[in-house]
Amino acid sequence: MRPGVVGYIPADPAAITPTIARAIREHGYTGTTVRLDAPLAAEEGVVRRAGQILRDAGVEVAQCNPQYEMLVDPVEGRRALGIQQLRAAARCARWLGAQTTYIRPGSLSPAGPWKPHPENTRLRTIERLVDSLCQVVTAGEDEGVPYALEGADCSPLDTPERIRDVLEAVGSPAMRFNADPVNLIGSLEDLYDNASVTNRLFDLCGPWIVCAHVKDIAYVESLTIHLDEVPLGEGVFDQATFARRFEQICPDGYFMLEHLRDDEYPRAKANLDGILAECGIAWR
């Protein structure tokens, strides 16, 4: 597997400089994410230049991460715009030289794409998501850059079973999966036996996995159940099981640390390096 990071990089591709790119490489990463706030308005020259600056420093664009309207939005105009934005993102990913275009399934919550809503897992929502993805994925086929879908316990893709079913329904080699098993930890039972969650995810969705997001999780002392992300090495997630399963099916894929402040990444990376060494896994 290869070391990647979702951090250290500005939101605007035009702000990516050789200094930033070299710093990412010096921190020990060979892959990163490039965000696109407005894929429909992206300028080809700016996007291509950002990708080239990173490659010149020895850093690949592992993922293009666009912003877009919800794919499950019941308002057809907004959903259609989201589909259009994601299709444009595939073109941007090709300009970047990215390996994948990242997809969030979205939510019916007005608070954001990773927020719960009682309708998120209803059949009509899942059917709307599948329809959106089927319209999106042909752009990935045409541009030669696959999409990488992700799930979470608060989203329409809340279990490995539902993720598998949606990927099968889309049925395209250009719709793949970004493994992030911490996202699927939704209870104390899951937390205490999180290796089972990881194994179920890889058992069911392994054929689609092309990349991974890596982080940690812990129980927060509270009168109610409260789980929260923490820097890798400070939680209870079984990173060894995750790393072994990923290495088995995706040895050239990017294993990407995320959701940390820039000053927290070095320690998290050192902790991950130590876990991989204990597992006998070497970075490629």
Q: What is the DSSP letter of 75?
A: S
Scan for tokens 């309708």, then name that residue.
119
The confidence band for 215, taking pLDDT boundaries of 50, 70 and 90, is very high
Q: Domain 2-279 carries which CATH code?
A: 3.20.20.150
pLDDT tens string 140-164: 999 999 999 999 999 999 999 999 9
- Between helix 44-56 and helix 76-96 the angle, nearest 10°, is 50
- Between helix 44-56 and helix 18-26 the angle, nearest 10°, is 40
CA distance 226 to 45: 45
Per-position DSSP letters for 218-262, written without gaps between them? EEPP-SS--EEEE-TTSS---HHHHHHHHHHH-TTSEEEEES--G
The confidence band for 33, taking pLDDT boundaries of 50, 70 and 90, is very high
Task: Determine the average pLDDT of the residues in 22-34.
Answer: 99
CA distance 61 to 79: 27
pLDDT tens string 98-110: 999 999 999 999 9
Q: 0.85 cut: is pTM over it?
A: yes
Q: Is residue 258 a contact partner of residue 6, using CB atoms and an 8 Å limit?
A: yes
pLDDT tens string 127-144: 999 999 999 999 999 999
- Count Cβ neighbours within 10 Å for each residue of 9-29 and write b for 16 or more, e otherwise: beeebeebeeebbbbbeebeb
Q: What is the DSSP letter of 176?
A: E
Q: Is residue 16 a contact partner of residue 50, using CB atoms and an 8 Å limit?
A: yes
CA distance 205 to 229: 23
Which residues, listed in sequence order, are joined to residue 100 by a DSSP beta bridge?
63
pLDDT surpassing 90 at residue 202? yes
CA distance 187 to 163: 18
CA distance 86 to 90: 7
Q: Is residue 282 a contact partner of residue 237, using CB atoms and an 8 Å limit?
A: no
Domain ranges of the chain: 2-279
> What is the Rg, in whole angstroms, of the alpha carbon atoms belonging to the chain?
18
Q: Where does residue 93 rank: exposed (0-12), middle (13-18), buried (19+ CB within 10 A)?
A: buried
Q: Compute CA 279 distance to the chain's CA centroid, rounded to the nearest angstrom.
A: 24
Separation of first and last alpha carbons in the chain: 6
CA distance 72 to 95: 27
The confidence band for 222, taking pLDDT boundaries of 50, 70 and 90, is confident
List the one residue out of 46, 29, 76, 3 whose CA is nearest residue 254.
3
